[in-house]
A and B are shown apart, each in its own frame.
Chain A
Amino acid sequence: MVLTVRDMAVTRGGLAILEGVSFDLAAGEALVLRGPNGIGKTTLLRSVAGLQPPERGTVSGAEDQIAHAGHSDGLKAMLSVTENLRFWASVFGVTEIEPALMSFALTELRHRMAGTLSAGQKRRLGLARLMVTGRPIWVLDEPTVSLDTASVALFAEAVRRHLRNGGSALMATHIDLGLAEARVLDLTPFKAAPRARQMDEAFL
């Protein structure tokens, strides 16, 4: 198992939203998290990525292994497509950005400023960033927002290639990604009973 989550409970805005979530992720495996709006998919993914500490439970195998892609793409409007990618590549110590540009059909846009791209093109660039991290576990939050069907297919192909190379992916999504092999975990049964948390953290 590359990633193991045990008995995790997460809170958003001081309210417990999920509890008792456990799952495993093996190399070459994709896991799709489903559930209605507000169930806590984003919060759970942020906790797995280490951006916020879980209320309870453990995540093992995540340290320096995760490439997280949240709702925003982290692009700089005044940098070109290549400059944006090259920056993230050098942060993660990767030199090659061409495969990432190719996989998401960004080669023709490479010299455009990121601020002039359409929403779907920005998303593609945001996803291409995952490929220059060189990290084995992709944690993706609604990765296909504003992508058309052709781009969703590009994305599914990129994920499949990542899985073939021994990586794994943890995704929260509503729509079908065309990844028939992905396991699905419905989060609805893990919804926490409504109760307030201890007071002290609410002030932080």
Chain B
Amino acid sequence: MRALLLRDLMLSIRAGGGFGLGLAFFLIVTVLVPFGVGPQTELLSRIAPGILWIGALLACLLSLDRILALDWEDGSLDLLATAPLPMEGIVTVKAFAHWITTGLPLVLAAPVLGVLLNLPGDAYLWVVVSLAVGTPALSVIGTFGAALTVGLKRGGLLMSLLVLPLYVPTLIFGAEVARRGGEGLTVQAPLLLLAGISFGAIALLPFASAAVLRINLR
């Protein structure tokens, strides 16, 4: 398991990996939004938490098809399936590696990019907290989508359509935590719901991902 995690991390850092992809996309979105919205700092700081969350979500989506498709193409997935690792473990490790290479950099970059969006001072902490709690759910749900569409040529479109609706609850509660935090309101309810989604997804979805992967490998 650890070997698989280390291999995935090493591959994503080496040339051709997906390490910078999500981060670069996130940067582009948050840089371009102020230009698109215009010089209204009041409006900008009102939509900033939502923009940061949408940017993070789309950046996550962008790199999902790399989670399993590359291993499928070169035959490693077949070999991993016959290895002494449980399939549930494989998909969990894959999702974790995806979170480290995509979700974690987004969490760390969000407060820096928040400056560009005139994010209210109180909201910085809650944007980081909500992303830190919410992005693992994005990776795990995304791995499920990747497992569903593995082996389909150009399955990226279908995967986006499948995964986006599943992302909506995470987005709603994540952005709500950041918004309420920025306005100085209590964040307990949306934060608990967001954490519930994350933990529920981490606990249950690997079994679903492993099951669909077994069917897809036939």
Contact of A71 among B11, B15, B75, B217 (CB under 8 A): B75
Contact of A88 among B2, B14, B79 (CB under 8 A): B79
Give residues of chain A (58-77) contacting chain B, Cβ–Cβ below 8 Å. 64, 66-68, 70-77
- Bound Cα distance from A72 to B76, whole angstroms: 8
A93 interface hit (Cβ, 8 Å): yes
Report B-chain residues with C-beta under 8 Å of the C-beta of A93: 84
- Bound Cα distance from A198 to B85, whole angstroms: 33
B200 interface hit (Cβ, 8 Å): no
- Bound Cα distance from A79 to B3, whole angstroms: 13
B183 interface hit (Cβ, 8 Å): no
Report whether A78 and B82 are in contact in the complex, using a CB–CB cutoff of 8 Å.
no
B42 interface hit (Cβ, 8 Å): no
- Bound Cα distance from A91 to B82, whole angstroms: 11
Report whether A76 and B83 are in contact in the complex, using a CB–CB cutoff of 8 Å.
no
Contact of A68 among B4, B17, B79 (CB under 8 A): B79
- Bound Cα distance from A49 to B80, whole angstroms: 12
Report B-chain residues with C-beta under 8 Å of the C-beta of A66: 82
Residues of B within 8 A of A (CB-CB), count = 25
A87 interface hit (Cβ, 8 Å): yes
Shortest Cβ distance from B3 into A: residue: A90
- Bound Cα distance from A16 to B78, whole angstroms: 22
Give residues of chain B (1-38) contacting chain A, Cβ–Cβ below 8 Å. 2-4, 7, 10-11, 14-17
Report whether B82 and A67 are in contact in the complex, using a CB–CB cutoff of 8 Å.
yes
A50 interface hit (Cβ, 8 Å): yes
Report whether B10 and A79 are in contact in the complex, using a CB–CB cutoff of 8 Å.
yes
Report A-chain residues with C-beta under 8 Å of the C-beta of B7: 76, 79, 83, 87
Q: Known A76-B11, A78-B15, A87-B7; judge A50-B82 contact (CB<8 A).
A: yes
Residues of A within 8 A of B (CB-CB), count = 28
- Write the A88-109 contact mask toward B (1 if CB under 8 angstroms, else 0): 1011110000000000000000
Report whether A79 and B11 are in contact in the complex, using a CB–CB cutoff of 8 Å.
yes
A52 interface hit (Cβ, 8 Å): yes
Q: Known A78-B11, A90-B3; judge A51-B16 contact (CB<8 A).
A: no
A204 interface hit (Cβ, 8 Å): yes
Report whether B14 and A51 are in contact in the complex, using a CB–CB cutoff of 8 Å.
no
Report whether A74 and B3 are in contact in the complex, using a CB–CB cutoff of 8 Å.
no
Shortest Cβ distance from B80 into A: residue: A91
Report whether B218 and A75 are in contact in the complex, using a CB–CB cutoff of 8 Å.
no
- Bound Cα distance from A97 to B87, whole angstroms: 25
Q: Known A74-B75, A78-B16, A91-B83; judge A52-B3 contact (CB<8 A).
A: no
Contact of A78 among B17, B78, B80, B85 (CB under 8 A): B17
A57 interface hit (Cβ, 8 Å): no
16 A-B pairs with CB atoms under 8 Å apart are A51-B81, A53-B218, A66-B82, A68-B82, A70-B78, A72-B73, A72-B74, A74-B74, A74-B79, A75-B76, A78-B14, A87-B3, A87-B7, A88-B83, A91-B83, A92-B83
What residues of chain B have their CB less than 8 Å away from a CB belonging to chain A? 2-4, 7, 10-11, 14-17, 73-76, 78-85, 215, 217-218
Shortest 4 CB-CB distances between A and B: which pairs?
Answer: A72-B75, A90-B3, A74-B76, A52-B218
